[in-house]
Chains A and B, each alone.
Chain A
Protein backbone atom coordinates (compact mmCIF):
# COMPACT_ATOMS: atom_id res chain seq x y z
CA UNK A 1 0.00 0.00 0.00
CA UNK A 2 1.78 3.07 -1.24
CA UNK A 3 -0.56 5.66 0.22
CA UNK A 4 0.46 7.81 3.17
CA UNK A 5 0.40 6.66 6.77
CA UNK A 6 -2.48 7.35 9.08
CA UNK A 7 -2.21 8.14 12.79
CA UNK A 8 -4.27 8.03 15.95
CA UNK A 9 -4.20 11.65 17.06
CA UNK A 10 -6.58 11.44 19.99
CA UNK A 11 -8.39 8.56 21.64
CA UNK A 12 -10.60 8.03 24.66
CA UNK A 13 -12.79 5.43 26.26
CA UNK A 14 -15.36 5.81 28.99
CA UNK A 15 -15.16 3.54 31.96
CA UNK A 16 -17.16 0.45 31.04
CA UNK A 17 -19.94 -0.51 33.43
CA UNK A 18 -23.51 0.38 34.28
CA UNK A 19 -24.91 3.80 33.38
CA UNK A 20 -28.64 3.64 34.13
CA UNK A 21 -28.97 7.42 33.90
CA UNK A 22 -26.95 8.05 30.75
CA UNK A 23 -27.99 7.21 27.21
CA UNK A 24 -26.03 6.10 24.16
CA UNK A 25 -25.42 9.68 23.10
CA UNK A 26 -24.17 10.78 26.54
CA UNK A 27 -21.59 8.01 26.44
CA UNK A 28 -20.65 8.67 22.81
CA UNK A 29 -20.30 12.39 23.56
CA UNK A 30 -18.00 11.74 26.53
CA UNK A 31 -15.83 9.51 24.37
CA UNK A 32 -15.79 11.96 21.43
CA UNK A 33 -15.05 15.03 23.55
CA UNK A 34 -12.38 13.02 25.36
CA UNK A 35 -10.77 12.08 22.05
CA UNK A 36 -10.80 15.72 20.88
CA UNK A 37 -9.18 16.87 24.12
CA UNK A 38 -6.61 14.07 23.92
CA UNK A 39 -5.72 15.07 20.36
CA UNK A 40 -5.81 18.83 20.94
CA UNK A 41 -8.48 19.35 18.29
CA UNK A 42 -12.19 20.22 18.09
CA UNK A 43 -15.22 19.04 16.17
CA UNK A 44 -14.41 21.87 13.77
CA UNK A 45 -11.32 19.97 12.62
CA UNK A 46 -13.25 16.85 11.63
CA UNK A 47 -14.10 16.24 7.97
CA UNK A 48 -15.93 12.97 8.56
CA UNK A 49 -17.71 11.13 11.36
CA UNK A 50 -18.31 7.38 11.49
CA UNK A 51 -20.56 6.26 14.32
CA UNK A 52 -21.13 2.69 15.42
CA UNK A 53 -23.92 1.20 17.47
CA UNK A 54 -25.36 -2.29 17.22
CA UNK A 55 -28.21 -2.85 19.63
CA UNK A 56 -29.69 0.60 20.04
CA UNK A 57 -31.04 2.72 17.20
CA UNK A 58 -27.95 1.99 15.10
CA UNK A 59 -28.05 5.64 13.98
CA UNK A 60 -26.29 7.64 16.61
CA UNK A 61 -24.10 9.82 14.36
CA UNK A 62 -26.50 12.69 13.77
CA UNK A 63 -27.89 12.74 17.33
CA UNK A 64 -24.29 12.82 18.53
CA UNK A 65 -23.53 15.83 16.31
CA UNK A 66 -26.33 17.74 18.02
CA UNK A 67 -24.42 17.34 21.31
CA UNK A 68 -20.81 17.83 20.22
CA UNK A 69 -20.95 20.03 17.13
CA UNK A 70 -23.23 20.17 14.12
CA UNK A 71 -20.87 21.12 11.35
CA UNK A 72 -22.52 19.59 8.31
CA UNK A 73 -19.80 17.01 7.65
CA UNK A 74 -20.66 13.59 6.23
CA UNK A 75 -21.81 11.03 8.79
CA UNK A 76 -21.72 7.30 8.28
CA UNK A 77 -23.67 5.15 10.74
CA UNK A 78 -22.19 1.69 10.77
CA UNK A 79 -23.03 -1.67 12.28
CA UNK A 80 -20.94 -4.80 11.83
CA UNK A 81 -21.69 -6.98 14.85
CA UNK A 82 -18.84 -6.97 17.39
CA UNK A 83 -16.55 -5.49 14.73
CA UNK A 84 -18.69 -2.33 14.60
CA UNK A 85 -16.18 -0.02 16.31
CA UNK A 86 -13.27 -1.25 14.22
CA UNK A 87 -15.42 -0.84 11.12
CA UNK A 88 -16.19 2.78 12.04
CA UNK A 89 -12.44 3.37 12.31
CA UNK A 90 -11.93 1.86 8.89
CA UNK A 91 -14.63 4.05 7.35
CA UNK A 92 -12.74 7.12 8.56
CA UNK A 93 -9.45 5.68 7.29
CA UNK A 94 -10.88 4.87 3.87
CA UNK A 95 -12.25 8.39 3.56
CA UNK A 96 -8.84 9.84 4.38
CA UNK A 97 -7.09 7.47 1.96
CA UNK A 98 -9.63 8.38 -0.72
CA UNK A 99 -8.69 12.03 -0.25
CA UNK A 100 -12.11 13.09 0.98
CA UNK A 101 -10.90 14.01 4.46
CA UNK A 102 -7.69 14.63 6.35
CA UNK A 103 -9.03 14.13 9.85
CA UNK A 104 -12.06 12.31 11.18
CA UNK A 105 -13.77 10.90 14.22
CA UNK A 106 -14.76 7.28 14.74
CA UNK A 107 -16.98 6.50 17.71
CA UNK A 108 -18.73 3.42 19.05
CA UNK A 109 -21.31 3.43 21.83
CA UNK A 110 -23.41 0.66 23.34
CA UNK A 111 -25.78 0.07 26.25
CA UNK A 112 -25.74 -3.58 27.24
CA UNK A 113 -25.75 -3.65 31.04
CA UNK A 114 -28.44 -5.98 32.29
CA UNK A 115 -29.03 -7.51 28.88
CA UNK A 116 -29.25 -11.25 29.25
CA UNK A 117 -27.89 -13.90 27.02
CA UNK A 118 -27.48 -12.85 23.42
CA UNK A 119 -29.24 -15.57 21.46
CA UNK A 120 -29.44 -16.24 17.77
CA UNK A 121 -32.00 -14.79 15.42
CA UNK A 122 -34.22 -17.84 15.28
CA UNK A 123 -36.69 -17.40 18.10
CA UNK A 124 -39.84 -18.43 16.19
CA UNK A 125 -42.60 -19.42 18.59
CA UNK A 126 -44.80 -22.50 18.16
CA UNK A 127 -48.02 -21.67 16.30
CA UNK A 128 -51.42 -23.32 16.27
CA UNK A 129 -50.60 -25.12 13.06
CA UNK A 130 -47.13 -26.24 12.07
CA UNK A 131 -46.14 -23.95 9.22
CA UNK A 132 -42.76 -24.21 7.52
CA UNK A 133 -40.94 -20.88 7.52
CA UNK A 134 -37.60 -19.48 6.55
CA UNK A 135 -34.69 -20.97 4.67
CA UNK A 136 -34.86 -24.25 6.59
CA UNK A 137 -38.66 -24.57 6.33
CA UNK A 138 -38.68 -24.79 10.13
CA UNK A 139 -42.05 -25.46 11.75
CA UNK A 140 -40.78 -24.40 15.17
CA UNK A 141 -37.83 -22.74 16.88
CA UNK A 142 -34.56 -24.48 16.07
CA UNK A 143 -32.25 -22.64 18.51
CA UNK A 144 -31.76 -25.10 21.35
CA UNK A 145 -33.23 -27.99 19.38
CA UNK A 146 -30.73 -28.14 16.54
CA UNK A 147 -27.65 -27.16 18.46
CA UNK A 148 -27.37 -23.68 19.95
CA UNK A 149 -27.25 -20.18 18.58
CA UNK A 150 -26.41 -18.65 21.95
CA UNK A 151 -23.02 -16.98 21.93
CA UNK A 152 -21.59 -18.81 24.97
CA UNK A 153 -22.54 -22.14 23.39
CA UNK A 154 -21.25 -21.23 19.94
CA UNK A 155 -17.89 -20.08 21.27
CA UNK A 156 -17.69 -23.05 23.64
CA UNK A 157 -17.88 -25.30 20.59
CA UNK A 158 -15.29 -23.19 18.77
CA UNK A 159 -12.89 -23.92 21.64
CA UNK A 160 -13.82 -27.59 21.74
CA UNK A 161 -13.38 -27.84 17.98
CA UNK A 162 -9.78 -26.70 18.44
CA UNK A 163 -9.40 -29.69 20.73
CA UNK A 164 -10.73 -31.95 17.99
CA UNK A 165 -8.02 -30.73 15.67
CA UNK A 166 -5.03 -30.63 17.98
CA UNK A 167 -5.83 -32.62 21.10
CA UNK A 168 -8.38 -32.14 23.81
CA UNK A 169 -8.24 -28.91 25.80
CA UNK A 170 -9.24 -29.21 29.44
CA UNK A 171 -11.90 -27.13 31.17
CA UNK A 172 -9.14 -26.06 33.54
CA UNK A 173 -7.00 -24.65 30.72
CA UNK A 174 -9.86 -22.52 29.44
CA UNK A 175 -10.62 -21.38 32.99
CA UNK A 176 -6.99 -20.39 33.53
CA UNK A 177 -7.21 -18.02 30.58
CA UNK A 178 -10.06 -16.34 32.37
CA UNK A 179 -8.04 -16.30 35.60
CA UNK A 180 -5.32 -14.41 33.72
CA UNK A 181 -7.69 -11.81 32.32
CA UNK A 182 -9.44 -11.19 35.65
CA UNK A 183 -6.00 -10.80 37.24
CA UNK A 184 -5.07 -8.26 34.55
CA UNK A 185 -8.27 -6.29 35.15
CA UNK A 186 -7.22 -5.42 38.71
CA UNK A 187 -4.86 -2.81 37.25
CA UNK A 188 -7.38 -1.28 34.84
CA UNK A 189 -9.58 1.35 36.51
CA UNK A 190 -11.77 1.56 33.37
CA UNK A 191 -12.73 -2.12 33.50
CA UNK A 192 -16.32 -2.96 34.44
CA UNK A 193 -15.05 -5.63 36.84
CA UNK A 194 -11.73 -5.42 38.65
CA UNK A 195 -12.00 -8.45 40.84
CA UNK A 196 -9.26 -11.01 40.90
CA UNK A 197 -10.74 -14.51 40.78
CA UNK A 198 -9.08 -17.79 41.68
CA UNK A 199 -9.11 -20.70 39.27
CA UNK A 200 -11.38 -22.55 41.67
CA UNK A 201 -13.84 -19.65 41.88
CA UNK A 202 -13.99 -19.45 38.10
CA UNK A 203 -14.52 -23.18 37.62
CA UNK A 204 -17.17 -23.37 40.33
CA UNK A 205 -19.12 -20.34 39.15
CA UNK A 206 -22.42 -20.68 37.29
CA UNK A 207 -22.03 -22.85 34.20
CA UNK A 208 -23.38 -20.99 31.18
CA UNK A 209 -22.26 -23.26 28.36
CA UNK A 210 -19.63 -25.85 29.22
CA UNK A 211 -16.76 -25.19 29.30
CA UNK A 212 -17.61 -21.49 29.73
CA UNK A 213 -18.72 -20.46 33.22
CA UNK A 214 -20.04 -16.96 33.86
CA UNK A 215 -16.69 -15.23 34.52
CA UNK A 216 -15.38 -16.84 31.31
CA UNK A 217 -18.00 -14.92 29.27
CA UNK A 218 -17.66 -11.32 28.14
CA UNK A 219 -19.34 -8.94 30.53
CA UNK A 220 -22.37 -7.14 29.12
CA UNK A 221 -21.82 -3.51 29.98
CA UNK A 222 -22.36 0.06 28.85
CA UNK A 223 -19.61 2.16 27.38
CA UNK A 224 -18.21 4.15 24.49
CA UNK A 225 -14.89 4.79 22.84
CA UNK A 226 -13.81 7.28 20.19
CA UNK A 227 -10.73 8.16 18.22
CA UNK A 228 -9.53 10.99 16.02
CA UNK A 229 -7.63 9.70 13.01
CA UNK A 230 -5.41 11.98 10.96
CA UNK A 231 -3.40 11.78 7.76
CA UNK A 232 0.37 12.04 8.02
CA UNK A 233 0.37 15.19 5.89
CA UNK A 234 -2.12 16.91 8.18
CA UNK A 235 -0.32 15.66 11.29
CA UNK A 236 2.89 17.38 10.11
CA UNK A 237 1.07 20.73 10.27
CA UNK A 238 0.14 20.23 13.94
CA UNK A 239 2.14 21.06 17.07
CA UNK A 240 5.17 19.06 18.17
CA UNK A 241 3.26 17.93 21.26
CA UNK A 242 0.50 16.54 19.08
CA UNK A 243 2.96 14.85 16.75
CA UNK A 244 4.87 13.34 19.65
CA UNK A 245 1.82 11.59 21.05
CA UNK A 246 0.42 10.42 17.70
CA UNK A 247 0.41 6.65 17.21
CA UNK A 248 0.96 5.22 13.75
CA UNK A 249 -1.64 2.82 12.37
CA UNK A 250 0.81 0.41 10.78
CA UNK A 251 -1.91 -1.93 9.55
CA UNK A 252 -5.68 -1.92 9.30
CA UNK A 253 -7.34 -4.99 7.85
CA UNK A 254 -10.88 -6.30 7.68
CA UNK A 255 -11.80 -9.74 6.37
CA UNK A 256 -14.81 -12.05 6.30
CA UNK A 257 -14.85 -15.83 6.44
CA UNK A 258 -14.37 -17.63 3.13
CA UNK A 259 -16.57 -20.69 2.52
CA UNK A 260 -15.40 -23.87 4.14
CA UNK A 261 -17.42 -26.99 4.92
CA UNK A 262 -18.78 -26.70 8.42
CA UNK A 263 -19.02 -22.92 8.44
CA UNK A 264 -22.77 -23.22 7.96
CA UNK A 265 -23.19 -25.09 11.25
CA UNK A 266 -20.48 -23.51 13.42
CA UNK A 267 -19.19 -19.98 12.92
CA UNK A 268 -15.68 -20.13 11.57
CA UNK A 269 -13.71 -17.36 13.27
CA UNK A 270 -10.42 -19.05 12.44
CA UNK A 271 -10.12 -18.55 8.70
CA UNK A 272 -10.99 -14.84 8.72
CA UNK A 273 -8.66 -14.16 11.66
CA UNK A 274 -5.72 -16.03 10.18
CA UNK A 275 -6.15 -14.26 6.86
CA UNK A 276 -6.51 -10.84 8.48
CA UNK A 277 -3.40 -11.49 10.57
CA UNK A 278 -1.38 -12.49 7.51
CA UNK A 279 -2.44 -9.35 5.67
CA UNK A 280 -1.81 -7.15 8.72
CA UNK A 281 1.70 -8.48 9.30
CA UNK A 282 2.50 -7.93 5.63
CA UNK A 283 1.07 -4.42 5.64
CA UNK A 284 2.94 -3.42 8.79
CA UNK A 285 6.13 -5.20 7.77
CA UNK A 286 6.34 -6.98 11.11
CA UNK A 287 5.93 -10.55 12.31
CA UNK A 288 4.03 -12.04 15.26
CA UNK A 289 7.20 -12.10 17.37
CA UNK A 290 7.63 -8.34 16.98
CA UNK A 291 4.41 -7.58 18.87
CA UNK A 292 4.90 -6.35 22.44
CA UNK A 293 1.28 -6.79 23.45
CA UNK A 294 -2.01 -7.90 21.97
CA UNK A 295 -5.63 -7.12 22.75
CA UNK A 296 -7.60 -9.94 21.16
CA UNK A 297 -11.31 -10.77 21.09
CA UNK A 298 -11.83 -12.90 24.19
CA UNK A 299 -15.62 -12.73 24.01
CA UNK A 300 -15.28 -16.08 25.80
CA UNK A 301 -12.27 -17.77 27.36
CA UNK A 302 -12.64 -20.52 24.75
CA UNK A 303 -12.17 -17.92 22.00
CA UNK A 304 -8.93 -16.49 23.36
CA UNK A 305 -7.21 -19.85 23.05
CA UNK A 306 -7.98 -20.36 19.36
CA UNK A 307 -6.84 -16.85 18.51
CA UNK A 308 -3.32 -17.44 19.88
CA UNK A 309 -3.07 -19.84 16.99
CA UNK A 310 -5.06 -17.82 14.45
CA UNK A 311 -2.92 -14.73 15.06
CA UNK A 312 0.15 -16.96 14.72
CA UNK A 313 1.42 -16.02 18.19
CA UNK A 314 2.33 -19.70 18.52
CA UNK A 315 3.07 -22.58 16.17
CA UNK A 316 0.05 -24.16 14.55
CA UNK A 317 -1.71 -26.43 17.04
CA UNK A 318 0.37 -25.18 19.97
CA UNK A 319 -2.04 -22.74 21.62
CA UNK A 320 -2.31 -24.71 24.86
CA UNK A 321 1.46 -25.03 25.12
CA UNK A 322 1.79 -21.32 24.39
CA UNK A 323 -0.64 -20.41 27.14
CA UNK A 324 0.92 -22.85 29.61
CA UNK A 325 4.33 -21.27 28.99
CA UNK A 326 3.02 -18.14 30.73
CA UNK A 327 3.73 -16.01 27.65
CA UNK A 328 0.34 -14.31 27.62
CA UNK A 329 0.27 -13.16 31.26
CA UNK A 330 1.31 -9.53 31.78
CA UNK A 331 4.63 -10.71 33.24
CA UNK A 332 5.12 -13.03 30.27
CA UNK A 333 6.98 -12.79 27.02
CA UNK A 334 4.04 -11.44 24.99
CA UNK A 335 1.10 -10.29 27.14
CA UNK A 336 -2.44 -10.72 25.83
CA UNK A 337 -5.39 -8.68 27.10
CA UNK A 338 -3.64 -6.70 29.80
CA UNK A 339 -6.80 -4.55 29.91
CA UNK A 340 -8.61 -7.50 31.47
CA UNK A 341 -10.15 -8.43 28.15
CA UNK A 342 -13.83 -8.54 27.39
CA UNK A 343 -14.31 -11.00 30.25
CA UNK A 344 -13.59 -8.33 32.86
CA UNK A 345 -13.18 -4.99 31.08
CA UNK A 346 -16.62 -5.49 29.54
CA UNK A 347 -17.96 -5.73 26.02
CA UNK A 348 -20.19 -2.82 24.99
CA UNK A 349 -20.22 -4.19 21.47
CA UNK A 350 -19.76 -1.12 19.25
CA UNK A 351 -17.20 0.41 21.60
CA UNK A 352 -15.02 -2.69 21.81
CA UNK A 353 -13.15 -2.30 18.51
CA UNK A 354 -12.03 1.22 19.47
CA UNK A 355 -11.49 0.57 23.18
CA UNK A 356 -8.90 -2.09 22.39
CA UNK A 357 -7.07 0.43 20.20
CA UNK A 358 -7.16 2.86 23.14
CA UNK A 359 -5.55 0.22 25.33
CA UNK A 360 -2.71 -0.44 22.91
CA UNK A 361 -2.19 3.25 22.10
CA UNK A 362 -2.02 4.07 25.81
CA UNK A 363 0.78 1.53 26.33
CA UNK A 364 2.67 2.68 23.24
CA UNK A 365 2.49 6.24 24.57
CA UNK A 366 3.82 5.02 27.90
CA UNK A 367 0.74 6.35 29.66
CA UNK A 368 -0.76 3.14 31.06
CA UNK A 369 0.33 3.83 34.63
CA UNK A 370 0.61 0.79 36.90
CA UNK A 371 -0.38 -1.61 34.15
CA UNK A 372 2.13 -0.24 31.63
CA UNK A 373 3.94 -2.89 29.61
CA UNK A 374 7.43 -1.41 29.69
CA UNK A 375 9.00 -0.53 26.38
CA UNK A 376 5.93 -1.38 24.31
CA UNK A 377 6.41 -0.04 20.78
CA UNK A 378 4.25 -2.33 18.63
CA UNK A 379 0.86 -3.78 19.50
CA UNK A 380 -2.09 -5.47 17.86
CA UNK A 381 -5.84 -5.29 18.28
CA UNK A 382 -8.25 -7.94 17.05
CA UNK A 383 -12.04 -8.15 16.99
CA UNK A 384 -14.48 -10.69 15.66
CA UNK A 385 -17.96 -9.83 14.51
CA UNK A 386 -19.97 -13.00 14.41
CA UNK A 387 -21.32 -13.73 11.00
CA UNK A 388 -18.25 -13.38 10.43
CA UNK A 389 -15.91 -10.44 10.29
CA UNK A 390 -12.39 -10.02 11.59
CA UNK A 391 -10.72 -6.64 12.01
CA UNK A 392 -7.10 -6.22 13.00
CA UNK A 393 -5.07 -3.11 13.69
CA UNK A 394 -1.34 -2.98 14.28
CA UNK A 395 -0.17 0.18 16.02
CA UNK A 396 3.37 1.42 16.21
CA UNK A 397 5.12 4.18 18.07
Chain B
Protein backbone atom coordinates (compact mmCIF):
# COMPACT_ATOMS: atom_id res chain seq x y z
CA UNK B 1 0.00 0.00 0.00
CA UNK B 2 1.42 3.42 -0.93
CA UNK B 3 2.20 6.02 1.69
CA UNK B 4 -0.71 8.26 2.43
CA UNK B 5 -1.07 11.78 3.82
CA UNK B 6 -4.33 13.45 4.78
CA UNK B 7 -5.47 16.57 2.89
CA UNK B 8 -5.66 18.35 6.25
CA UNK B 9 -4.34 17.35 9.65
CA UNK B 10 -7.81 17.13 11.22
CA UNK B 11 -8.46 14.09 9.04
CA UNK B 12 -6.91 11.09 10.81
CA UNK B 13 -6.13 8.16 8.50
CA UNK B 14 -5.51 4.52 9.40
CA UNK B 15 -7.94 1.64 9.86
CA UNK B 16 -10.71 3.91 11.01
CA UNK B 17 -10.44 7.28 9.26
CA UNK B 18 -12.15 10.03 11.23
CA UNK B 19 -12.09 13.75 11.91
CA UNK B 20 -10.70 15.36 15.02
CA UNK B 21 -11.11 18.82 16.47
CA UNK B 22 -8.95 20.84 18.86
CA UNK B 23 -11.15 21.37 21.87
CA UNK B 24 -10.57 24.19 24.33
CA UNK B 25 -9.94 22.52 27.71
CA UNK B 26 -11.73 25.38 29.46
CA UNK B 27 -14.96 25.96 27.49
CA UNK B 28 -15.03 23.01 25.07
CA UNK B 29 -15.24 25.21 21.97
CA UNK B 30 -13.93 23.23 19.01
CA UNK B 31 -11.64 24.28 16.19
CA UNK B 32 -10.22 22.50 13.17
CA UNK B 33 -7.27 24.77 12.53
CA UNK B 34 -4.28 25.69 14.65
CA UNK B 35 -5.32 28.38 17.13
CA UNK B 36 -3.27 30.69 19.32
CA UNK B 37 -6.11 30.97 21.76
CA UNK B 38 -9.76 30.10 22.10
CA UNK B 39 -12.05 32.45 20.16
CA UNK B 40 -14.76 31.95 22.75
CA UNK B 41 -13.03 32.13 26.16
CA UNK B 42 -9.43 33.16 25.26
CA UNK B 43 -8.01 30.03 26.92
CA UNK B 44 -4.82 28.67 25.41
CA UNK B 45 -5.00 24.95 26.10
CA UNK B 46 -6.53 22.51 23.67
CA UNK B 47 -6.87 18.75 23.42
CA UNK B 48 -7.80 16.66 20.40
CA UNK B 49 -11.22 15.03 20.36
CA UNK B 50 -12.67 12.66 17.78
CA UNK B 51 -15.86 13.58 15.97
CA UNK B 52 -18.69 11.19 15.18
CA UNK B 53 -18.48 9.82 11.64
CA UNK B 54 -22.16 10.31 11.05
CA UNK B 55 -23.98 13.56 10.78
CA UNK B 56 -26.80 15.38 9.08
CA UNK B 57 -26.91 18.07 6.43
CA UNK B 58 -27.50 21.52 7.87
CA UNK B 59 -26.87 23.52 4.70
CA UNK B 60 -25.71 22.85 1.16
CA UNK B 61 -25.15 24.40 -2.22
CA UNK B 62 -24.61 22.78 -5.59
CA UNK B 63 -21.61 24.77 -6.78
CA UNK B 64 -21.23 25.18 -10.53
CA UNK B 65 -18.36 27.62 -10.63
CA UNK B 66 -15.07 27.00 -8.86
CA UNK B 67 -11.31 27.46 -9.00
CA UNK B 68 -9.43 25.72 -11.83
CA UNK B 69 -8.84 22.03 -11.18
CA UNK B 70 -12.04 21.56 -9.20
CA UNK B 71 -14.62 19.43 -10.95
CA UNK B 72 -18.04 21.06 -11.10
CA UNK B 73 -20.79 20.78 -10.17
CA UNK B 74 -20.16 19.54 -6.67
CA UNK B 75 -22.15 19.70 -3.46
CA UNK B 76 -20.65 21.91 -0.74
CA UNK B 77 -22.23 21.50 2.64
CA UNK B 78 -22.25 22.07 6.35
CA UNK B 79 -22.67 18.82 8.25
CA UNK B 80 -23.72 18.61 11.87
CA UNK B 81 -21.62 15.90 13.51
CA UNK B 82 -23.06 15.72 16.99
CA UNK B 83 -22.72 19.24 18.32
CA UNK B 84 -19.93 20.22 15.93
CA UNK B 85 -20.41 21.64 12.48
CA UNK B 86 -18.09 20.48 9.72
CA UNK B 87 -17.50 21.83 6.25
CA UNK B 88 -17.37 19.12 3.59
CA UNK B 89 -18.47 18.14 0.13
CA UNK B 90 -21.25 15.61 -0.16
CA UNK B 91 -19.74 12.91 -2.35
CA UNK B 92 -20.83 9.70 -4.03
CA UNK B 93 -24.07 11.35 -5.05
CA UNK B 94 -25.21 12.80 -8.38
CA UNK B 95 -24.69 16.52 -7.65
CA UNK B 96 -28.23 17.77 -8.16
CA UNK B 97 -30.36 19.65 -5.64
CA UNK B 98 -33.03 16.95 -5.66
CA UNK B 99 -30.50 14.41 -4.39
CA UNK B 100 -29.61 16.32 -1.25
CA UNK B 101 -32.03 17.19 1.53
CA UNK B 102 -31.64 19.36 4.60
CA UNK B 103 -31.50 17.02 7.59
CA UNK B 104 -30.37 14.11 5.41
CA UNK B 105 -28.18 11.57 7.25
CA UNK B 106 -24.65 11.24 5.91
CA UNK B 107 -21.42 9.50 6.89
CA UNK B 108 -17.73 10.23 6.46
CA UNK B 109 -15.99 8.81 3.39
CA UNK B 110 -12.44 9.20 2.13
CA UNK B 111 -10.95 9.09 -1.35
CA UNK B 112 -7.60 9.39 -3.08
CA UNK B 113 -7.07 12.96 -4.20
CA UNK B 114 -3.87 12.37 -6.17
CA UNK B 115 -0.25 11.23 -5.96
CA UNK B 116 2.91 13.26 -5.68
CA UNK B 117 6.28 12.48 -7.33
CA UNK B 118 7.20 9.99 -4.64
CA UNK B 119 3.96 8.10 -5.17
CA UNK B 120 2.47 9.28 -1.88
CA UNK B 121 -1.28 9.54 -2.00
CA UNK B 122 -3.14 12.51 -0.59
CA UNK B 123 -6.42 11.46 0.97
CA UNK B 124 -9.43 13.75 0.96
CA UNK B 125 -12.75 13.35 2.68
CA UNK B 126 -16.39 14.06 2.16
CA UNK B 127 -19.70 12.81 3.44
CA UNK B 128 -21.93 10.37 1.56
CA UNK B 129 -25.57 9.46 2.09
CA UNK B 130 -25.77 7.11 5.08
Enumerate chain A interface residues (CB-CB to B < 8 A): 117, 119, 123, 126-130, 132, 134-148, 150, 152-153, 156-158, 160-161, 163-164, 168, 171, 206-212, 259, 261-262, 264-266
- Contact in complex: B9, A132 (CB < 8 Å): yes
Question: A209 with B64: in contact, given A129-B117, A136-B8 (CB under 8 Å)?
Answer: yes
- Contact in complex: A130, B59 (CB < 8 Å): no
Query: Given B58, B77, B86, B113, which contacts A145 in the complex, CB threshold below 8 Å?
Result: B113
Q: Is B49 positioned at the interface, with any CB of A under 8 Å from its CB?
A: no
Question: A153 with B70: in contact, given A136-B32, A266-B87 (CB under 8 Å)?
Answer: no
Q: Which residue of A lies closest to B58 (CB)?
A: A164
Name the A residues within 8 Å of B60 (CB-CB): 157, 160
Q: Give A129 to B62 CA distance when docked, in angstroms.
A: 31
Question: A145 with B102: in contact, given A127-B116, A157-B77, A161-B58 (CB under 8 Å)?
Answer: no
Query: Given B9, B88, B97, B122, which contacts A171 in the complex, CB threshold below 8 Å?
Result: B97
User: Separation in Å of the A35 CB from the closest CB of chain B?
Assistant: 36
Name the B residues within 8 Å of A138 (CB-CB): 7-8
Most B CB within 10 A of own CB, among A135, A145, A168: A145
Enumerate chain B interface residues (CB-CB to A < 8 A): 5-10, 29-35, 39-40, 58-67, 69-70, 73-74, 76-78, 83-89, 97, 102-103, 113-114, 116-118, 120, 122, 124-125
Query: Given A127, A134, A145, A265, which contacts B85 in the complex, CB threshold below 8 Å?
Result: A265
Name the B residues within 8 Å of A207 (CB-CB): 62, 64, 73
User: Separation in Å of the B77 CB from the closest CB of chain A?
Assistant: 7
- Contact in complex: B66, A130 (CB < 8 Å): no
User: Separation in Å of the B9 CB from the closest CB of chain A?
Assistant: 4
- Contact in complex: B97, A136 (CB < 8 Å): no
User: Separation in Å of the A146 CB from the closest CB of chain B?
Assistant: 5
User: Separation in Å of the B79 CB from the closest CB of chain A?
Assistant: 9
Q: Which residue of A lies closest to B97 (CB)?
A: A210
User: Separation in Å of the A260 CB from the closest CB of chain B?
Assistant: 8
- Contact in complex: B8, A146 (CB < 8 Å): yes
Q: Give A134 to B7 CA distance when docked, in angstroms.
A: 12
Question: A161 with B78: in contact, given A130-B122, A261-B84 (CB under 8 Å)?
Answer: yes
Question: A259 with B29: in contact, given A140-B7, A146-B88 (CB under 8 Å)?
Answer: yes
- Contact in complex: A144, B74 (CB < 8 Å): yes
Q: Give A156 to B89 CA distance when docked, in angstroms.
A: 14
Q: Give A11 to B117 CA distance when docked, in angstroms.
A: 59
Name the B residues within 8 Å of A146 (CB-CB): 7-8, 87-89, 124-125
Q: Which residue of A lies closest to B75 (CB)?
A: A210
Q: Give A127 to B85 CA distance when docked, in angstroms.
A: 30
Name the B residues within 8 Å of A164 (CB-CB): 58-59, 102-103
User: Separation in Å of the B72 CB from the closest CB of chain A?
Assistant: 8
Q: Which residue of A lies closest to B57 (CB)?
A: A164
- Contact in complex: A141, B69 (CB < 8 Å): yes
Q: Which residue of A lies closest to B95 (CB)?
A: A210
Query: Given A143, A153, A261, A262, which contacts B61 in the complex, CB threshold below 8 Å?
Result: A153
- Contact in complex: B85, A157 (CB < 8 Å): no
Q: Give A266 to B78 CA distance when docked, in angstroms.
A: 7
13 contacts between A and B (CB under 8 A): A129-B116, A136-B9, A136-B32, A139-B5, A139-B8, A140-B113, A145-B7, A146-B88, A147-B78, A150-B67, A152-B61, A208-B64, A259-B29
User: Separation in Å of the A300 CB from the closest CB of chain B?
Assistant: 10
Name the B residues within 8 Å of A212 (CB-CB): 61
14 extra interface residue pairs, beta carbon distance < 8 Å, beyond A132-B5, A143-B70, A259-B39: A126-B114, A127-B116, A138-B8, A144-B69, A146-B89, A147-B87, A150-B65, A160-B60, A210-B64, A261-B29, A262-B58, A262-B78, A266-B59, A266-B87
Q: Give A27 to B120 CA distance when docked, in angstroms.
A: 52
Name the A residues within 8 Å of B64 (CB-CB): 206-210
- Contact in complex: A157, B70 (CB < 8 Å): no
- Contact in complex: B58, A139 (CB < 8 Å): no
Q: Give A211 to B10 CA distance when docked, in angstroms.
A: 30
- Contact in complex: A142, B65 (CB < 8 Å): no
Q: Give A163 to B87 CA distance when docked, in angstroms.
A: 17
- Contact in complex: A157, B114 (CB < 8 Å): no
Query: Given A142, A144, A259, which contacts B8 in the complex, CB threshold below 8 Å?
Result: A142
Question: A144 with B63: in contact, given A138-B8, A266-B78 (CB under 8 Å)?
Answer: yes
Q: Give A142 to B76 CA distance when docked, in angstroms.
A: 12
Q: Give A264 to B69 CA distance when docked, in angstroms.
A: 25
- Contact in complex: B85, A262 (CB < 8 Å): yes
- Contact in complex: B87, A150 (CB < 8 Å): no
8 interchain residue pairs of minimum CB distance: A144-B70, A156-B61, A137-B9, A147-B87, A135-B33, A265-B87, A210-B62, A262-B85
